[in-house]
Amino acid sequence: MRALVIEKPHQATIQEVEYPKPRMNEVTIKVERTGICGTDIHIYEGTYISSYPLIPGHEFSGVIHEIGPAVTGYSVGDRVSADPNIFCGHCEYCQTHRSNQCENFAATGVTRNGSMAEYVRVPANTLIRMPDSMTFQQGAFIEPMACVVYAMNRLQVQAGDRVILFGAGAMGQQLVQAISRSGASELAVVDISPSKLRIAEQFGATRTILSDELDTRLSGQAFDIVVEATGIPAVIQKAFTYMGPAAKYLQFGVADSEVTVPLSPFKLFNKDWTILGSMAVHYTTIPAMRWIDEGRVQVDHLVSQTLSLEQTLDFFENAKNRDFLKTQIQL
């Protein structure tokens, strides 16, 4: 089968690789759509936890092509997506409701071969059955939306909270819709792209600010919740300056693994701040699927372009258009 293989940082090729035949309790999916995530870019650049060679891709949809031994409840031809995160179920963290910190954590497209290929093999217990009403394009948003659901569960927006969100990319746009439906009285969104900010305004932002106008337009203002969705160190550092007393901060964007930013321990103590991380998903794929299927969160407008596997090589190798949102691959 054809697959995009990252052989080492900044080096990827299209190769003919062995078909991933399902083993015990696994299925093989014929991939229809797969999304390109910021994490895939980090993997390509060598700044994430992955080893090489690797077939990336963890946001995907398709149909079951082959079923392995001991799998029940599914049939060849079923339309599915899958949670890429694979938890052992028996370590201390899995047994104390912290599975996304699993000591034996694995992930499709991150630590094992993923969906930037004609076929991908996954454990059957990670499958999500797609409703007939859901397109494959929408199905490839289940995993990123599940990340948003987990973030919202962590954040616990209260009625009337004033929120500022840094980053209006594809994930930021999904956060805009989720936050605006969760009781926030104000949702300010900051980004470098005017076109992305216009989309944020259409889907729930109460005001938008270009990054280079931030200091003049929001000087001295404080918020109850600050959400960072870029992973850029300078943006993260700036975001902390907008935290009010007893504010909550959510780090949603993925930064390079070696990045650090300064933080005042006294302010953390004195201002009674809460700082939250949001590591991937935590059994949140079904709620995410329901949000998309019921149209509570819109995703179709977030697809800026659809590429072939061959075109994806150029996407990885060259600068990205800052106005693009989600890029998907059609297999």
- Cα 222 to Cα 8, 80, 173, 263, distances in angstroms: 43, 43, 22, 17
Beta strands 2-8 and 207-210: pairing type?
unpaired
Q: Is 42 a catalytic residue?
A: yes
Give the residue from 84, 78, 90, 87 showing the smallest Cα distance to 122: 84
Q: Which of the following is catalytic: 34, 39, 126, 285? A: 39
Q: Which of the following is catalytic: 34, 42, 230, 327? A: 42
66: left (phi over 0), alpha (psi -120 to 50) or beta: beta
Which residues of the chain form beta strands (DSSP E)?
2-8, 11-16, 26-36, 59-67, 79-82, 85-86, 106-107, 119-123, 127-129, 162-166, 186-191, 207-210, 223-228, 243-251, 274-277, 303-307, 326-330
Tell me the HSE value of 300 on the side-chain side, using a 13 A CA sphere: 6
Non-local (6+) Cβ contacts of 213 within 8 A are none
> ∠245-225-231 over CA atoms, to 5°?
120
Site of tokens 């949102």: 325
In angstroms, rounded to a whole number, what is the distance separating the alpha carbons of residues 327 and 35?
6
Residues classed as catalytic: 39, 42
